[in-house]
Structure 1
Amino acid sequence: MTRRLRLGMVGGGEGAFIGAVHRIAARLDDDFELVAGALSSDAARAKSSAEAIGLARSYADWREMAREEGARGTRADGIDAVAIVTPNHLHASVAHAFMDAGIHVICDKPLTVSLDEGRALARHARDANVVFALTHTYSGYPLVRHARELVAAGELGEVRVVQVEYAQDWLANPIEQGSADSRNRQASWRTDPALAGPAGCLGDIGTHAYQLAAFVSGMEPVAVAAEVHTFVPGRRIDDHVQAMLRYANGARGMLWASQVASGAENALRLRVYGTKAGLAFDQEEPNVLWLTPQGGEAQRLTRGRVTGAAASHATRVPPGHPEGYLEAFAQLYRDAAAQIRARDAGQPPPPASRLLTTVDDGVAGLRFIEAVLASSAADGAWRTLG
């Protein structure tokens, strides 16, 4: 019987939405068991958060956790991997500490707050010989993976147009402002450049849109012309971004992301058009993918009925039984577990797990952020991705 991997968590205490999502995703396929955590920078809150989920090993400081749980620590049952679900400004320092301890990393996005930090993390992950997974959730959907297979197999022909958009409305009002008791805690740190970094909406959901487009199309743009904007008075960071994209093969694209789109819930949509066909995916309807041949009838492909290897690997239940966000998130943990077991055994990762988003995908996202901010500062002038 395969042993469950021991998981630790940094961040994700009481009131943190994404921490609970990580915990559900990690245990969905029985690959991980959460055994330790430094769930808050506040010692009392870390303790109460651990008690609320029945976590026995609670640390008041993540540095102590890395020392104690790592290969050179005092525990024989130390963690195999750590999930980092802190505000963005801590991702780099926490990841470095756990990689130094020989512990694999599963990190929330964006990877860090700067491209230099991201590149340093990528070098460290290679030197430490650890798995470094980045939780770009939407690449875990079976039909997103099938869409990638279709493009790679040439079913669309040569890609000409990539259109991606991600619209939300949860920051349409200044919910981060006001007294400590009245303001939204998530909004407070996500709109604080000291904690979130220089990119607000751009870093939070713009990177998701960018990664989805690159994952499916198999292409990254070589240049962008972009504008970031802040609509809500008093907000210190962008809440809206729009960018034109140029690709090396001559294709063109557009990316739009907004967190002030009133009425929008989690509207992440991708369209890719080639010389032979086009495809369309809507994250709010993740069990359907539309494929339309040039001059032909639209084909409605459904999860559980497509036969590609990538979609089959990411499918858990029979056709007609919807799978959604939590299952897509769990797919990243399933693939991370497969890669961790292979790495620890000195073996190559199983082919089915190789679609896991990695530290290198995080660096690509940071290159995009840097180019968009540079273009916006130059009034939308074209900037190459470094």
Structure 2
Amino acid sequence: MIRKLKMGMIGGGKNAFIGAVHRIAANIDGLVELHCGAFSSNSAVSKESGKDLFLNEEKCYNSYEEMIVAESKLPLLERMDFVTIVTPNFAHFKPAMMALDHGFHVVIDKPITLSLDEAKQLQQKVQETGLLLCLTHTYSGYPMVKQARKMVSDDKLGNIRKIMVEYNQGWLSSSFESEGNKQALWRTDPALSGISGCMGDIGTHAAQLAEYISGLKITQLCADINIVVDGRQLDDDGNVLLKFDNGANGILVATQIAAGEENNLNIKIYGEKGGLEWHQMEPNSLIIKWTDAPMQIYRTGNDYLSDEAKANSRIPSGHPEGYLEAFANIYRNFALTLSALLEGNEPSATMLDFPTVKDGVRGMAFIESVIASGQSDQKWFDFKI
């Protein structure tokens, strides 16, 4: 890279959780700098948030529309290179489309939009413009997830037969939204979150992780979707049977009412020769089980790992690498890809290893298929895009 990339941010102002995570992740490798922002729909809050981040006042915009138009009029080396969208779901589509229309690459939180139709429109816009869109499915950034994916693609486990993935949280086991909690309020409001709560918020992570590691695609599903907490408008719990394009079957569990759970994302994949399992709350370890050999535990930072795992590790073995580093891997790969393109070079396969608009479309198809299945007596629904 010949220079740092300039990032504009939409959302992520004072008291916002995910905006700070994005800024930390973007900054870890020193490839990206925060250049400007429209940090809130409230212009005063946006200005105050930018001041707290030591931005010049003229780079703290009143709205994302103002920011995108103003930045697009600047010379190439003086304007933002890409925009990061860290707003609730309802405010993803319009700023992403506007940014692409004005020539800016996009990083966006999942789920990508409010509907599958919007996701398809974004995909079409990305294809038309030739610009990059990166979707922050954080968990695909962990080194041991990369190791698991490589082992499956190298046929170490043989033909994949079964996939079990669960994402258990307990933070919404009571009516947190009625107490005015900001994060709970928008996630449980259909106008802000879309047609799904739990499955949109964390079920999409579980589905993406299953497809990412296995290299398979979900083709059918059968869902049991529940609203457990009285008065809640959107699902807070669900169980989904899955079928994959190679004939494998699977189970996906996502819940936010498992009292006492923190952020317990786990995946197990079984093939003809053996199986693997990975736990997000113990992310440095990958467990491999064989039919004809003792169980093995692979650990982050060791020389015996795949090139893919090592390329997404930063520190020696025994030093924990977690959520922020995994998030940063997505930003780094995106930034290296964008820099290569800006310099007229071809990005490597390692650089291109980040979720894209295609993952976003599949995520919205998952949400809509799961909710349709959960509301129907029909046993199996085709996974339609």
TM-score by length of 2: 0.97
Task: Quote the offset at 1:126 in angstroms.
Answer: 1.5
Choose the corresponding residue for 1:314, options 312, 315, 337.
312
**Aligned residues, how many?**
381
Which letter maps to 1:22?
Answer: H
Which letter maps to 1:11?
Answer: G
Q: Compute the RMSD of aligned alpha carbons.
A: 1.2
CA distance in 2, matches of 1:122, 1:107: 13
Task: Quote the offset at 1:75 in angstroms.
Answer: 7.8
User: What is the aligned partner in structure 2 of residue 157 from structure 1?
Assistant: 158
User: What is the aligned partner in structure 2 of residue 127 from structure 1?
Assistant: 128
Choose the corresponding residue for 2:382, options 378, 381, 384.
384
Which ranges of structure 1 fall in alignment gaps of 5 or more residues?
A: none
User: What is the aligned partner in structure 1 of residue 69 from structure 2?
Assistant: 67
Is 1:26 matched with 2:26?
Answer: yes
> CA distance change for structure 1 residues 75 and 311 in 2, over 3 Å: closer, same or farther?
closer
55-64 vs 28-37, greater mean Cα deviation = 55-64
In the TM superposition, 1:1-386 aligns within 5 A as: 2-56=2-56, 57-70=59-72, 72-73=73-74, 77-177=78-178, 182-305=179-302, 306-379=304-377, 381-386=379-384
Task: Quote the offset at 1:228 in angstroms.
Answer: 1.3
Task: Quote the offset at 1:295 in angstroms.
Answer: 3.5
CA distance in 2, matches of 1:381, 1:279: 29
Deviations 1:14-42 (A, max 9, x none): 11110000000000000100010000001
CA distance in 2, matches of 1:158, 1:281: 19
CA distance in 2, matches of 1:342, 1:125: 18
What SS does the corresponding residue of 1:352 show, helix, strand or coil? coil
The question of whether the paired residues in 1 share the 8 Å contact of 2:12 and 2:39 is answered with: yes
What SS does the corresponding residue of 1:176 show, helix, strand or coil? helix
> CA distance change for structure 1 residues 356 and 76 in 2, over 3 Å: closer, same or farther?
closer
CA distance in 1, matches of 2:194, 2:50: 28
Which letter maps to 1:61?
Answer: S
What SS does the corresponding residue of 1:232 show, helix, strand or coil? coil
Deviations 1:108-159 (A, max 9, x none): 0001111110011011011111110000001000010010000000000000
TM-score by length of 1: 0.96
Deviations 1:145-191 (A, max 9, x none): 010000000000000000000001111111111xxxx4101111111
> CA distance change for structure 1 residues 75 and 354 in 2, over 3 Å: closer, same or farther?
closer
What SS does the corresponding residue of 1:366 show, helix, strand or coil? helix
What SS does the corresponding residue of 2:350 show, helix, strand or coil? helix
The question of whether the paired residues in 2 share the 8 Å contact of 1:166 and 1:256 is answered with: yes
Task: Quote the offset at 1:380 in angstroms.
Answer: 5.5
What SS does the corresponding residue of 1:234 show, helix, strand or coil? coil
